[in-house]
Amino acid sequence: MEKITSFTINHLSLKRGIFVSRKDRLPKGDVVTTFDIRMKEPNREQAVHQAALHTIEHLAATFLRNHPVWKNRVIYWGPMGCCTGNYLLLEGDLQSSDIVDLMKETFTFISEFEGDIPGANARDCGNYTLNDMPLARREARKFLVEVLCNLSSENLNYPQD
C-alpha cells in the first residue's frame, strides 16, 4: 500500500502549531482544506490526556459550528488518534495563516469556558464520562499562550526534512 501523506511528515522535528495537512478538490470543484492543529510535539511531549482531548473536541466543535463568520465553512473538528492534536476541515482553499485568529478565538473560548460541557451527557455522547474540563482548560491555555500567541514559520509550515 502507498503511504498516506500524514505519515510522510517527519514527526521527530514537527513543532506545535497550525499546519495544512492536505487539500482535496471535490467533484464539483470545491476545495476542502484539512488542518493539523498540533498541540503537542510528537514523541517528545506527553500526549493530551484523552479526557481533556474529548472535552476540547466538544467545546471546539460547538464553538466553531456556531462561529458567526466560519460556521458555514466548518466540515469537521476531531482529535487525532495519537492524541497530540486535532484535525479541522474547512471549506475553501486556505493557508495556515488564514485561521490563526479563528484558532486564537477557539482556544480562548475553551480556556475560559465555565458551565456544562455541551453534549456531555448519556443521551448526546457515546462516552460522556470521559471528560476533564479543568485539564482541557489548562491544555487550551498552554497551546494558546505558548504557541498561538507566538507563531513563527515553524509553527505554520510542516518541516521540510
pLDDT in tens, 137-152: 999 999 999 999 999 9
111 DSSP 8-state letter: H
Average pLDDT, the chain: 96
**Domain segments of the chain as ranges:** 5-152
The sign of the CA dihedral 71, 73, 76, 79 is negative
User: Average pLDDT of 67-85?
Assistant: 97
Fold of the 5-152 domain: Gyrase A; domain 2 (3.30.1360)
Instruction: Please count the CA atoms within 13 angstroms of the CA of 89 that sit on its side-chain side.
Output: 12
pLDDT given for residue 6 in this prediction: 79
Instruction: Please count the CA atoms within 13 angstroms of the CA of 109 that sit on its side-chain side.
Output: 20
pLDDT given for residue 50 in this prediction: 97
C-alpha cell at 20: 495544512
Q: What is the value of pTM for the model shown?
A: 0.95
pLDDT given for residue 2 in this prediction: 87
The sign of the CA dihedral 5, 7, 13, 17 is positive
Which residues does 61 contact at the CB level (< 8 Å), separation at least 6? 77, 78
- Whether 3 shows a pLDDT value over 90: the answer reads no
- Whether 161 shows a pLDDT value over 80: the answer reads no
Checking phi first, is residue 115 left (phi over 0); if not, alpha (psi -120 to 50) or beta?
Answer: left
pLDDT given for residue 62 in this prediction: 98
14-39 pLDDT tens trace: 999 999 999 999 999 999 999 999 99
**3-6 contact pairs (CB < 8 A, 24+):** 6/36
- Per-residue pLDDT band for 5 (boundaries 50, 70, 90) equals confident
